[in-house]
């Protein structure tokens, strides 16, 4: 390669306009503030960020697996069913007779929640939970938020289990 290409790749010059940046050569391409970049993250910093993200998602999946039994029990008490498909995917389903059947998919790793169309036309929309969940939500929090959104309160387990 030529000197100009080497200077772009080493970070001495802006990778877009070719302007001299700050005289440093960090060993990775950078862009100037005028081109919308400023100081770019190094490959090592990007790799470290990705590793932290992967570890955080794994930690949230393990936490959800530990919370599953309590969340499933609560779901049964409010006429819902919580299902674990794989360690990274759960679904909450309405089981109350005479009400629309909806499914709420839950991915604890990336903290995503969404409804699904089951292929039978427009699916009934599940309750909106966005404003009812705190940032570090758990599976139990999702079930509780769905119950609150629908105005359901847990039934006394003794009445539910033993009829008395």
What is the value of pTM for the model shown? 0.63
What is the crossing angle of helices 139-150 and 43-77, to 10°? 50
Question: What angle is formed at CA 113 by the lines to CA 109 and CA 114, rounded to 5 degrees?
Answer: 140
The answer to whether position 116 is within a domain reads yes
The answer to whether position 36 is within a domain reads no
Q: Contact, 78 vs 143, CB < 8 A?
A: yes
Domain tally, the chain: 1
The answer to whether position 16 is within a domain reads no
Residue 160: pLDDT band (50, 70, 90) is very low
Per residue in 39-75, pLDDT tens? 556 677 778 878 888 898 898 888 888 999 999 999 9
Sequential DSSP letters for 102-118: -EEEEETTTTEEEE---
The answer to whether position 20 is within a domain reads no
The answer to whether position 14 is within a domain reads no
Q: Is the pLDDT of residue 161 over 70?
A: no
The answer to whether position 153 is within a domain reads yes
Q: Contact, 10 vs 27, CB < 8 A?
A: yes
The answer to whether position 154 is within a domain reads yes
- Determine the structural domain holding residue 72 and report its residue range: 61-162
Which of 92, 109, 110 shows the shortest CA–CA distance to 101?
A: 92
The reported pLDDT for the residue numbered 89 is 92
Burial of residue 151, with CB atoms counted within 10 A of its CB: 0-12 exposed, 13-18 middle, 19 or more buried: exposed
Q: How many CB atoms lie within 10 A of CB 140?
A: 19
Per residue in 78-124, pLDDT tens? 989 999 998 889 999 988 887 777 888 998 888 888 876 555 544 56
The answer to whether position 148 is within a domain reads yes
Q: Contact, 28 vs 37, CB < 8 A?
A: no
Q: Is the pLDDT of residue 32 over 90?
A: no
At residue 82, the 3 state secondary structure works out as strand
Sequential DSSP letters for 28-71: S-B--GGGT-SSPPPHHHHHHHHHHHHHHHHHHHHHHHHHHHHH
């Amino acid at each position: 390669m030529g000197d100009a290409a080497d200077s772009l790749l080493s970070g001495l010059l802006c990778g877009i306009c070719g302007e001299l940046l700050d005289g440093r050569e960090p060993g990775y391409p950078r862009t100037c503030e005028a081109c919308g970049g400023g100081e770019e993250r190094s490959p090592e910093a990007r790799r470290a960020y990705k590793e932290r993200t992967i570890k955080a998602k794994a930690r949230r999946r393990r936490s959800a697996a530990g919370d599953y039994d309590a969340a499933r029990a609560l779901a049964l008490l409010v006429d819902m069913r919580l299902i674990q498909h794989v360690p990274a995917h759960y679904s909450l389903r309405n089981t109350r007779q005479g009400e629309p059947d909806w499914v709420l998919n839950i991915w604890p790793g990336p903290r995503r929640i969404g409804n699904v169309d089951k292929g039978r036309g427009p699916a009934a929309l599940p309750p909106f939970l966005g404003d009812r969940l705190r940032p570090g939500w758990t599976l139990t929090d999702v079930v509780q938020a769905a119950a609150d959104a629908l105005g359901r309160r847990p039934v006394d387990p003794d009445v539910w289990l033993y009829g008395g």
